[in-house]
Amino acid sequence: MAAPKLSLLASLSSPPKFHFHWTRILCGNPTHSSLFLRNATTITKINKKKKKQRNGKGGIVTAKPESLAEKLKKRTRSDREFDKEQAMVYGGTATHVPVMLGEVLEVFSSFSSSSSSSPLRSFVDCTLGAAGHSSAIIQAHPELELYVGMDVDPIAHEKAQARIRSLCGDSSHLKAHTFMRNFKNIKSVLREVDEELLSSGVDGILMDLGMSSMQVNNAERGFSVLANGPLDMRMDPQASLTAEDILNSWPDTEVGRILREYGEESNWRSLQNKIVKARLFGGLHSTGELVDLIRKTTPRTRGGRQGWIKTATRAFQALRIAVNDELKTLEDSLYACFDCLTPGGRLAVISFHSLEDRIVKQTFLDIINSNGEDESGEGGGKDLRNIRNDNDEKEAWIKQMVQGWNGTILTKRPITPSEEEERLNRRSRSAKLRVIQKG
């Protein structure tokens, strides 16, 4: 937090051109000020965790960019046959298909198929969406006694709630609960269901971090690059900060950092300057205005129409992450979810872009080896053990594991969709599944 504060004081001692924007952030809305500082801290933290290595003289040597062939070699593509009919049954609509459904079912199937473990008695879906994954889990596990579903989006929650109720209507032993809450509140939600759950734990937890079609296809939510609407981008409509606030009020340096770090956009500086210049003419107030600005800013040599669409997609992603404080929320929630597992319980996370996956990977490593690290956070890696799964035929999806003090990462490398699923569902292409099991 020290660096952002020093930068802030330095800027205030010499009033910038848009000094009133600083005043609005620091004095006008305490919530926005808190989120601004949290985002600045998160950006700094992500920078420190990038792939860099120090040489013997103390200099920094940046790792060379991986080639496409190297990236593909590192992937652990699912070898499970894609069941299109199953995906459509639980998808609800042709445009909303639950990603890696078969793989998710496989992760939690061992609870009922393995004689060495208990049946899946309790399950939490932290990101309900259209309840595709949840519906499949409930029907695949008749032994399930407790189900809890959460989603901060009121429309998604309402539709999912009706679907879950219809599935559980005839069940006498399954208790189902749905909450319109963010997954960062998992502990308070479980406490509300049953005080003993925090001590006994739950068997399985799923986090699907992807955007649902209901959100993307609704222009009024401001998530779509191709549909004009307000610059909103709030997952929780009750939250105060919007993308419009960031674009028109946040310091120009922070806008640039968001585009660079959250969107991983190489053309961030030019975009930052254009956004700040637009403030002199009334600012940006719709997704159409932002897309038009990006289209005019993106060089024609960068892929034509596809070039500016990709740039716009990255910019929208960056703003959405900042508006919803997604990266810090994700990191905190991973720790909270792991705490809520029973011994032997599993947490499965599906991410859709590199920043999310990087946080999931690093947090999982920190979780399983927290007892083995010194105060500087170094040296703990020597206690980790890499294990190949060559014997367990019931869980053939597990290729390589990483075992630590507090649990085991069952996916040393993330599982990615099968080629068939990627071909039939383009939105699954960037999905990565990681699984951790509590010790």
Same-domain check for residues 335 and 428: yes
Average pLDDT over residues 233-250: 95
- Is 23 domain-assigned? no
- Is 55 domain-assigned? no
Predicted pLDDT at 84: 76
Q: Which of 7-11, 141-145, 303-307, 379-383 has the highest mean pLDDT?
A: 141-145
Same-domain check for residues 404 and 422: yes
Same-domain check for residues 239 and 148: no
Same-domain check for residues 149 and 293: no
| Residue 378 confidence class, pLDDT cut points 50, 70, 90 | very low
Taking phi first (over 0 means left), then psi (-120 to 50 degrees means alpha), and beta for anything else, what does residue 382 get?
Answer: alpha
Q: Which residue, 311, 326, 341, sits at the end of a domain?
A: 326
Average pLDDT over residues 27-42: 56
Distance CA 439, CA 432 (A): 23
Same-domain check for residues 298 and 347: no
The CATH number given to whatever domain includes residue 301 is 1.10.150.170
- Is 51 domain-assigned? no
Same-domain check for residues 113 and 235: no
In contact, 423 and 396? CB cutoff 8 Å: no
| Residue 247 confidence class, pLDDT cut points 50, 70, 90 | very high
Tell me the pTM. 0.80
Span 52-82, pLDDT tens digits: 433 443 443 344 445 545 554 556 888 888 8
Give the domain range for residue 283: 215-326
Same-domain check for residues 226 and 316: yes
Contacting residues for 208 by C-beta, under 8 A, at least 6 apart = 98, 99, 125, 127, 129, 133, 350
The DSSP letter of residue 82 is P
Same-domain check for residues 259 and 184: no
Same-domain check for residues 179 and 280: no
Distance CA 384, CA 379 (A): 10
In contact, 33 and 26? CB cutoff 8 Å: yes
- Is 394 domain-assigned? yes
Distance CA 327, CA 156 (A): 21
- Is 345 domain-assigned? yes
- Is 193 domain-assigned? yes
Which of 241-245, 371-375, 381-385 bottoms out in mean pLDDT, i.e. has the lowest? 371-375
Q: Is residue 231 over pLDDT 80?
A: yes
Q: Which residue, 302, 326, 350, sits at the end of a domain?
A: 326
Q: Which of 20-24, 155-159, 214-218 has the highest mean pLDDT?
A: 155-159
The CATH number given to whatever domain includes residue 419 is 3.40.50.150
Same-domain check for residues 130 and 180: yes
CA–CA–CA angle 196, 198, 203 (5° rounding) = 100
Q: Which residue has the higher pLDDT, 270 or 44?
A: 270
Same-domain check for residues 257 and 338: no
Element (H, E) at 295: helix 287-297
In contact, 137 and 128? CB cutoff 8 Å: no
Distance CA 94, CA 72 (A): 29
Average pLDDT over residues 179-195: 95
- Is 272 domain-assigned? yes
Average pLDDT over residues 406-427: 93
Distance CA 341, CA 367 (A): 13
Span 276-327, pLDDT tens digits: 999 999 999 999 999 999 999 887 665 555 678 999 999 999 999 999 999 9
- CA dist 407 to 95, 359, 362, 364, Å? 37, 18, 14, 9
Q: Encoding tokens for residue 291?
A: 């897309």
Distance CA 165, CA 287 (A): 36
- Is 47 domain-assigned? no
Number of domains in the chain: 2
Same-domain check for residues 162 and 283: no
